[in-house]
A = this chain, B = another copy of it.
């Protein structure tokens, strides 16, 4: 079946990802072509942001570019209004939501202490059941997390830019009300995209507004947290601790002070691993190529001005 759709899958710097996305495009019924002929591009290397502008320029007929990954902050300033841009928004949400649950339960149930023990430790731990949680962010990740936490009977407050209620949340408040929203939380969970507005949102003021026994959970980007302010809060004992799947920089250097706290658990950006993510990204690409062929609305459009 030749439906006429010609899609370039570029660059080729990640052979496994490239092959999986070529398969996805072909499964959807399109033809994989070179850039000169392509009317759309599937971007196949999240790390190759520097090549984006010249590669897209080499495809004069391309009207749509599918980016991988949900967080596109390394590419956001390279997008123009001449193309339709889509990204992996929502693709990785279930995996990252699962990581949030793992982080909360690991922290609340003192698993790091037990993992380091070499003899029977004292009993400790607290319930996630019925806890008060504040989520910074109201997108697909927050929604996936709310689905997983639903049976726990938690009181979840979402803080977001837009005033629309997040489905499943107990209440949704606007960003300026974030200090009040974290003031009674047992945990504060960062699920935001990294933009100029959200960079450093977890600062001294927000950390000070959190109860002393509240955990900070970051599955957004390292840039959401001001490291110096976090370290000051840890030293002062004004938060319970932090579980960080993202850090600034990444990888976090071995001599960074955040490695020295027993109540800081750092995981190496595994909210979704490549093994978990590639099949999900391939499914999204296949679905979007099918929609492109049919002329339907694509999933995961990027708001070029907002940068996510």
Residues of A within 8 A of B (CB): 94-95, 98-99, 101-102, 105-106, 108-112, 114-129, 147-148, 150-152, 250-254, 259, 265-270, 273-276
Contact = CB atoms under 8 A, between A and B. Distances in A.
29 contacts: A94-B129, A95-B129, A98-B129, A105-B106, A106-B106, A106-B109, A109-B267, A110-B267, A110-B270, A111-B111, A111-B115, A114-B265, A114-B268, A115-B265, A118-B259, A119-B254, A119-B259, A120-B250, A120-B251, A121-B268, A123-B270, A123-B273, A124-B270, A124-B273, A125-B270, A125-B276, A126-B275, A126-B276, A148-B151
Nearest to A119: B254
A37 to B, nearest CB: 36
A84 to B, nearest CB: 30
Given A117-B266, A147-B151, A148-B152, 8 more contacts: A95-B129, A98-B105, A102-B106, A102-B111, A109-B267, A116-B116, A120-B251, A123-B273
Contacts of A129: 94-95, 98
A102 B112 contact: no
Nearest to A121: B268
A114 B112 CA distance: 9
A267 B124 CA distance: 9
B267 A122 contact: no
A274 B276 CA distance: 38
The residue among A99, A106, A115, A273 with the most chain B CB atoms within 10 A of its own CB is A115
Nearest to A99: B109
Contacts of A147: 151
B273 A125 contact: yes
A112 to B, nearest CB: 4
A127 B102 contact: no
Contacts of A270: 109-110, 123-125
Nearest to A254: B119
Given A259-B119, A273-B124, A106 B111 contact: yes
A141 to B, nearest CB: 14
Nearest to A94: B129
A270 B122 CA distance: 9
Given A109-B99, A128-B98, A129-B95, A123 B265 contact: no
